[in-house]
Structures are given as structure tokens and as C-alpha cells.
Structure 1
């Protein structure tokens, strides 16, 4: 029988394709994405990573397999320290000051996704939590590698793409290994779970994939709170 992760991916195949075809990622691949949209995305992602890191830390403390503890603890550090360094390099490159960053309000999609992961961390078990965390690894790697594939097929090296550093980060071998490690942890959790737990794991995996799509869509639309004028 196929492992949980393979089944979950097949269950979301239409959604994964929609992520690849979203205008944000299409324009990112071409290098034509507007600076304003990318800056908005970076501001949201920097805030999301704090919540993501906290949820990863919870997964580390709950892991029944000691071998998975250093992975989730290390991933929490990567989310808060290493990836934020990537963001800060882009802030400098695209002229986004701290004042400019602070002026970008946290979007509804960003707040919803972050709050969702933290809620799962507080109210669900380890299997459900790792299933909810997996899409942030897997979907990003899927997007990065798909863009590199497009470049290879077109003969475009991506050298002139202002977003190439972002693409390379999520398409490289080190990140691919992190994806495989997370998938293995999720598969192990599913293998010893009962049917009801596996159903909840799948529901959380799907919802997190939906939030991934919504996150990019939010950035492309420069999503604002619809109630801003009522404040």
C-alpha cells in the first residue's frame, strides 16, 4: 500500500497544479512579478515564519521518535533565523526599509494560516501537526523545482531573474532532503495511527495546501482587510 504522503499528494493533485499555474508563481518564474507584490509577499512570509517556527518547535517536543527531534528543532531554527536572513537580503535588494515593512499590514490569509498551524499545535496530536506542517516544505520545493524545470526546457538559466535566489533556495538538494525527512516522519506517524487519525491527518494536509495557494493569491492581490474603512 502506498504511504500516507503519496496518497495525500494524489488527493491534492489539482490543487498542486493550481499552485504552479497561479499568476504569482508564473510571473516569479519569468522574473516579471512586480516588486510591490514580492515585497508584500516577503512581509507576510517573514511574519508567517515566526508562527511556523513555533509550530515546528512543538512538533520537536512531541516527536515519539528521538531521531525526528533534531530535524524539527533544526527546522524551527531555519525558519526563524536562516530564512529570515534570505528575506532581509531581499529587503536590502528591493529597498524595503523597516519603516516600509512595518507599513505593510499582516494580511487576512497570513494571519489565518499562521493561526491555523498554532491552533493545530495546541489542540491536535503529533500526527495531525506534522501532516499540517508538511505542505510548507513540500509545496515550496515543488514550486522551486518546477520553475527550474521550466528554465531548463526553455534554455533560460535564470541569471537575469531578480527572484533567482528565492527559486534556488527552495529547489536545492539541501531543501529537498528536508522535504524527504519531513515526509518520512509523517509516513511513520501515519503508519501507527488509527483510521480516524489518518483521516484527520489528511484533512489537515489538504487545508494547509489550500492555505499555501491562498498565501500566494493574497500576495498577488495585495490583500487588504475589507473592514479597513470601518476602523
Structure 2
């Protein structure tokens, strides 16, 4: 656990950071993600390819908005180092992830026409709407907290799955993307940013940040279910 260390009258006290609190509260949702049939079958190679294709098409909608939100949050942030990271996220911070996605679309023959004919599914729509809500009705702090599970959960999934991998080449490449040094570095930076923003926030704002994180974790869990069921309106 990452802790903040304070010294009070000669006694060193360790205190959990806000991201520790976030992860602790979201733990049941994360464990459900790790144990979801979509993830289990992706790892064993038993996941039907049509379900993975559906996931990729919905994730494309999500990632477009995820990238846009980085820039919109950066516009409202004063700290220059945070702005730099977020603007990089808006313009291609995780190029390796995007490159892999492009290869996946080519391998699976997902065409622009097919993408246009596939509407955003309810959970993807709700997840994106939640993130915009956290920025425009909430604050940049809450919006950053809402973005964090997409980094952190996927990085943890990559680290958990990499040892066994997957016998299906495209699933193995998916796993490797999220265990990569580049993605791990981006994840750690985003965790630090949220901790920094949380440290300077008022208690009510800190609670709202934790809530935003937990809600995003809920939508992450249901993203697997959305793809597994090929959810429609």
C-alpha cells in the first residue's frame, strides 16, 4: 500500500493516500472484473471472437471520449506538469495501445462501415456520460478520479494475466499491452496526479473523488458484461 508519512510529536504515522482509499472501496468491483467470464475466457482462449470484436468496437467509442476528456480536464488544471501529462493523453500518450488497436481492427476486419453501423451500447454510453458529468457538474479533480480506473484496473489485469497469458495470439497481444512498461508508467503517473489533487482538496471534494472512482470501476465491470452479452438498447 502506498502511504503518506507524517511525524507527530516524534511518532511516525502512516496514512493511506486517497488512491488507497479509492482502491479499497472499489475492491469488490475489481475482483468481480478479474473473475468475469469475459476475462477468464480471454485468458484461456475460450472467449468467442465475436464478443471480443464487439468489445473493441465499443471500446473505440469509449477511448475517443477518454482522450477528449484528457484535453478538456487539462484546460481547467493550473499545475503545469499535470496539464502536460493530460494534454499528452489527449494527443496520443498511449500510442502503443492505439497501434495495437489498429492492428486488431485490421486482423478482425472491423471496417469503418461496420463501426458506423454499431451504435454505442448502453453501458458504454453511461460510462462516458458519467465521466463528462464528473467534469462539468463536478470538478477537474473528480474527472481525473473518474479516468483513473481505466488506467489502473487494466494495468492490474495485465500484470495478473501476463504469467499465464493466452493461447490466442490476439488475446495475448491485448494482455501484453497493459503489462507494458509504457502503460505501467502512465498508470503510475495518473495515480500520482490523483493523489496530488486529492491532497489539496477539501474533505467533501475528496469524498466526491472517491465516489467518481468507484462509479467508474462499476462501469468497467459492466463493460465486460456489455461485451459478453453484446448488449443492445
Name the TM-score, length of structure 1 as normaliser. 0.89
Equivalent in the alignment of 1:196: 204
Whether 1:43 aligns to 2:51 is no
- Residue of structure 2 in register with 1:169 after alignment: 177
Query: What is the match of residue 85 of structure 1?
Result: 99
Task: Check whether the contact 1:49–1:80 (CA below 8 A) recurs between aligned residues.
Answer: no
Number of equivalenced pairs: 219
1:106 is aligned to: 120
Which residue matches 1:209? 217
Q: Is the 8 A contact 1:37 1:220 kept in 2?
A: yes
CA RMSD of aligned residues (A): 1.7
The alpha-carbon distance between structure 1 residues 162 and 31, as it changes in their structure 2 partners (threshold 3 A), is farther
Q: CA deviation at 1:50?
A: 1.2
Distance 1:5 1:131 in 2: 9
2:10 matched residue in structure 1? none
- Conservation of the 8 A alpha-carbon contact between 2:41 and 2:47: yes
2:73 to 59, 76, 80: 59
- Contact in 1 for aligned 2:132/2:143 (Cα 8 Å): no
Instruction: Answer with 102-111 or 173-182: which moved more.
Output: 102-111
Q: Which structure has greater helix proportion?
A: 1
**Which of 173, 179, 186 is 1:178 aligned to?**
186
Deviations, residues 2-24 of structure 1 (Å, cap 9, x unaligned): 11101111111111110000011
Contact 1:5 1:186 in 2 (8 A): yes
Which structure carries more strand by proportion?
2
Q: Which residue of 1 aligns with 2:140?
A: 126
Matched ranges for 1:152-163 at <5 A: 158=166, 160-163=168-171
| Cα offset, 1:67, TM superposition | 1.0
Say if 2:51 and 2:228, in contact at 8 Å, map to a contact too.
yes
2:232 counterpart SS class: coil
CA distance 1:79–1:38, shift in 2 (3 Å): farther
SS of residue paired to 1:12: helix
5+ residue gaps in structure 1? 152-156, 226-231
- Greater Cα offset, 30-39 or 205-214: 30-39
Q: Is 2:231 the partner of 1:223?
A: yes
Q: Deviations over 1:130-168 (max 9, x none)?
A: 11111111011111111113x1xxxxx646433111111
